[in-house]
């Protein structure tokens, strides 16, 4: 009889100890791949690719696609970048020299090291494209309607350009002998060389815009004659200087800042004497003082507040200081002193700053018995300008030296629009360009029988008033959401700290000798380095971070290689992709 086999003793595996093989507990194994288990049902957070609005784009009053231009510049596609800019703004060479660049003030990079030198790059792109022979393309269609544009400053030129590009016949009326408005007659050549301006204007006129110089509406052509046009855009600027309101201001040797700059820019000889007192603290005052210096006079600026309250562009103030132009702050003129019909000086009063006024700046309060006298051979008054609207019909109901307009730039008169310095908006070149573009959109929408207000709303970029002609032409879509990317949404671990390219200038001693341009601009190498400093906020640039970091293999390249797509069957919503995106181009939606 065979014996039953002995029962094997159960082996109890002891925990691993040093020097022995580790204990491995029983585990489940699968011969299937990880894609066999769809984990997407676990998700309550849903990541999604979303091109957001870069803060520089939102801040640009001219509505430029700054971020796209930086991307293309970083790829050395400078002509493509120029095209991105000029579909919104026809004056990149002008703006690259005189714009106060609010885009840089909103640049996320400024919170990391220094803002990207967008203004200098815009100038480089404009100059590069011109030298390469690139010009504006003619319109794809021609329409039968015609528009009149009154004034050839930045607002008028912008409106004429966009209307001509949309196929309309445009007649540009200018009261002065040459086109350009304040760009030509109000900005000195050391800031904006006249040949640069002429080249920019010639490109706009080449689109078929009919020029009418030396033609003042109300004098050389009556307002009623403009009724033959299907639309009218009024952009006649602000040329009337505000009075000082002190005794002696009508004396020979006293002139307005605008009148002085107009004479200088027209090539007229201006006799200032040895000492010039410039009254005011805005850009006109700085331009007048620096122009007087170049004419051989010794300028002295008198301003009623402190430097912190000066409305002049800070760079202009700094350059004036470099040129040793003296500024006397907290002082107001009370009398122009004359002798035998000639200016001998100005009597001033010292001020202290009181409570803030309507514009938010502290108001100057005169100090009793603080009179003092400054010697001067001439006086330039630059305390502000207002538009001369006397040529307009009364039905426009002009009030407070401005033309009332709605959100589209339309006036109370049918098919009459207004923009630039004749309406209540900041008086800068970029704001004027933006208002001209807005009027072109509104005119086009009106003549096509569309709702102009809705069309303008659909063209907006963010909340600061920036308008995109590209969005307008595409029915309000450009593939970008209206959400503006904040610095906190960026992953700056992927960027190296690097200062911006310094702006080169000729020495203060040399530049005071002539009206030659004081800044040479960026070299090609510097422009490339500067463009590559841009964070490209909010826009996917195919860096592959999301693809590499996804633990669920849920992200793959799109078939057209123009981005990525997420397979939500496998995405658990860990949102590592969101954290690792350098540019904040992935949004999170909470599942309800």
3-class secondary structure, 552? coil
For the stretch 229-243, pLDDT in tens is: 999 999 999 999 999
Q: What's the count of helices (H) and strands (E) in the chain, helices before strands?
A: 19, 21
Q: Are 564 and 557 in contact (CB under 8 A)?
A: yes
CA distances from 4 to 1, 8, 591 (A): 9, 12, 64
Burial (Cβ within 10 Å: 0-12, 13-18, ≥19) of residue 547: middle
The DSSP-derived string for 137-198 is: PPPS---S-EEEEE--SHHHHHHHHHHHHTT-EEEEE-SSSSS-THHHHTS-TTTS-HHHHH
Q: pLDDT value at position 1?
A: 44
pLDDT (mean) for 484-496? 95
For the stretch 178-220, pLDDT in tens is: 999 999 999 999 999 999 999 999 999 999 999 999 999 999 9
The pLDDT confidence band at residue 395, using thresholds 50, 70 and 90, is confident
pLDDT (mean) for 308-317? 93
pLDDT (mean) for 474-499? 91
pLDDT (mean) for 558-574? 89
pLDDT (mean) for 71-84? 97
The pLDDT confidence band at residue 398, using thresholds 50, 70 and 90, is confident
The pLDDT confidence band at residue 22, using thresholds 50, 70 and 90, is low
**Which of 47-51, 157-161, 371-375 has the weakest average pLDDT?**
47-51
The pLDDT confidence band at residue 2, using thresholds 50, 70 and 90, is very low
The pLDDT confidence band at residue 299, using thresholds 50, 70 and 90, is very high
Q: pLDDT value at position 35?
A: 66
Distance CA 118, CA 346 (A): 42
Q: Residue 519: CB partners within 8 Å, gap ≥ 6?
A: 97, 503, 504, 505, 506
CA trace torsion 153, 194, 276, 342 (10° rounding): -80
Residue 74 backbone class (left: φ over 0; alpha: ψ -120 to 50; beta: rest): alpha
Q: pLDDT value at position 554?
A: 93
For the stretch 419-478, pLDDT in tens is: 999 999 999 999 999 999 999 999 999 999 999 999 999 999 999 999 999 999 998 877
Task: Give the residue carrying structure tokens 């009179």.
Answer: 371
C-alpha angle 117/62/108, rounded to 5°?
Answer: 40
CA 19, distance to chain mean position in Å, is 70
Q: pLDDT value at position 479?
A: 77
**pLDDT > 70: what percent of the chain?**
94
Distance CA 443, CA 437 (A): 10
pLDDT at 63 over 80: yes
The domains located in the chain, with CATH, are 40-51+540-590 (3.30.70.20), 55-134+483-531 (1.10.1060.10), 146-239+387-458 (3.50.50.60), 241-383 (3.50.50.60)
For the stretch 525-561, pLDDT in tens is: 999 999 999 999 999 989 999 999 999 889 999 888 7
pLDDT at 144 over 50: yes
Q: pLDDT value at position 560?
A: 80
pTM of structure: 0.91
The pLDDT confidence band at residue 480, using thresholds 50, 70 and 90, is confident
Q: Please, what is the average pLDDT of the chain?
A: 92
Q: pLDDT value at position 360?
A: 85
Q: pLDDT value at position 17?
A: 53
pLDDT at 397 over 80: no
Structure tokens at 400: 């407070």
Distance CA 420, CA 155 (A): 5
Distance CA 503, CA 190 (A): 15
CA distances from 92 to 62, 124, 191, 217 (A): 10, 9, 14, 29
Distance CA 167, CA 189 (A): 33
pLDDT at 105 over 70: yes
């Amino acid at each position: 009889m065979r014996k039953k086999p002995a029962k094997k003793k159960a082996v109890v595996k002891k925990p691993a100890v040093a020097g022995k093989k580790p204990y491995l507990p029983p585990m489940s194994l699968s011969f299937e791949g990880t894609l066999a288990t769809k984990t997407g049902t676990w998700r309550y957070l849903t990541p999604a690719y979303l091109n957001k609005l870069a803060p520089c784009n939102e801040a640009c009053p001219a509505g430029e696609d700054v971020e796209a231009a930086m991307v293309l510049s970083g790829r050395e596609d400078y002509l493509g970048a120029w095209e991105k800019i000029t579909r919104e703004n026809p004056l990149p060479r002008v703006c690259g020299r005189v714009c106060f660049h609010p885009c840089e003030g909103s640049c996320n990079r400024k919170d990391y090291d220094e803002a990207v030198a967008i203004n200098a790059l815009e100038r480089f792109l404009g100059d590069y494209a011109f030298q390469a022979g690139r010009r504006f393309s003619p319109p794809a269609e021609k329409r039968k309607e015609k528009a009149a544009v009154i004034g050839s400053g930045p607002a008028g030129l912008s409106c004429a350009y966009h209307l001509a590009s949309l196929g309309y016949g445009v007649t540009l009326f200018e009261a002065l002998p040459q086109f350009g408005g304040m760009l030509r007659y109000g900005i000195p050549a050391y800031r904006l060389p006249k040949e640069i301006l002429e080249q920019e204007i010639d490109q706009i006129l080449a689109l078929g815009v009919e020029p009418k110089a030396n033609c003042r509406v109300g004098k050389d052509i009556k307002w009623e004659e403009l009724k033959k046009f299907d639309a009218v855009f009024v952009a006649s600027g602000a040329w009337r200087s505000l009075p000082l309101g002190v005794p002696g201001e009508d004396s020979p040797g006293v002139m307005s800042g605008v009148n002085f700059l107009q004479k200088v820019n027209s090539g007229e000889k201006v006799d200032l004497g040895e000492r010039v007192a410039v009254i005011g603290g805005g850009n006109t005052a700085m331009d007048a003082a620096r122009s007087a210096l170049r004419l051989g006079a010794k300028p002295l600026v008198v301003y009623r507040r402190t430097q912190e309250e000066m409305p002049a562009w800070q760079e202009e103030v700094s350059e004036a200081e470099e040129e040793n132009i003296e500024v006397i702050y907290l002082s107001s003129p009370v009398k122009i002193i004359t002798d035998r019909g000639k200016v001998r000086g100005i009597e001033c009063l010292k001020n202290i700053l009181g409570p803030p006024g309507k514009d938010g700046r502290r108001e100057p309060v005169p100090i009793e018995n603080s009179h003092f006298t400054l010697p001067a051979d001439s006086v330039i008054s630059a305390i502000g300008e207002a538009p001369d609207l006397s040529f307009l019909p009364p039905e426009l109901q002009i009030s407070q030296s401005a033309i009332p307009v709605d959100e589209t730039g339309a006036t109370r008169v049918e098919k009459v629009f207004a923009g630039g310095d004749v309406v209540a908006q900041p008086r800068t070149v970029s704001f004027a360009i933006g208002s001209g573009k807005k009027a072109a959109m509104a005119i086009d929408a009106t003549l096509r029988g569309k709702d102009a207000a809705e069309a303008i709303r659909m063209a907006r970029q963010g909340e600061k008033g920036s308008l995109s002609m590209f969005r307008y032409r595409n029915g309000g879509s450009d593939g970008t959401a209206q959400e503006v990317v904040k610095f906190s949404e960026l992953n700056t671990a992927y960027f190296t700290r690097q200062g911006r390219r310094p702006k080169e200038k000729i020495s203060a001693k040399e530049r005071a000798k002539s009206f030659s341009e004081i800044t040479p601009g960026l070299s090609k190498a510097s422009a490339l380095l500067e463009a590559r400093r841009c964070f490209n906020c909010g826009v996917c640039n195919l860096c592959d971070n999301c693809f590499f970091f996804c633990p669920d293999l849920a992200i793959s390249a799109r078939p057209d290689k123009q981005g990525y797509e997420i397979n939500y069957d496998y995405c658990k919503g860990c949102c590592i992709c969101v954290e690792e995106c350098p540019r904040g181009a992935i949004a999170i939606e909470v599942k309800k």
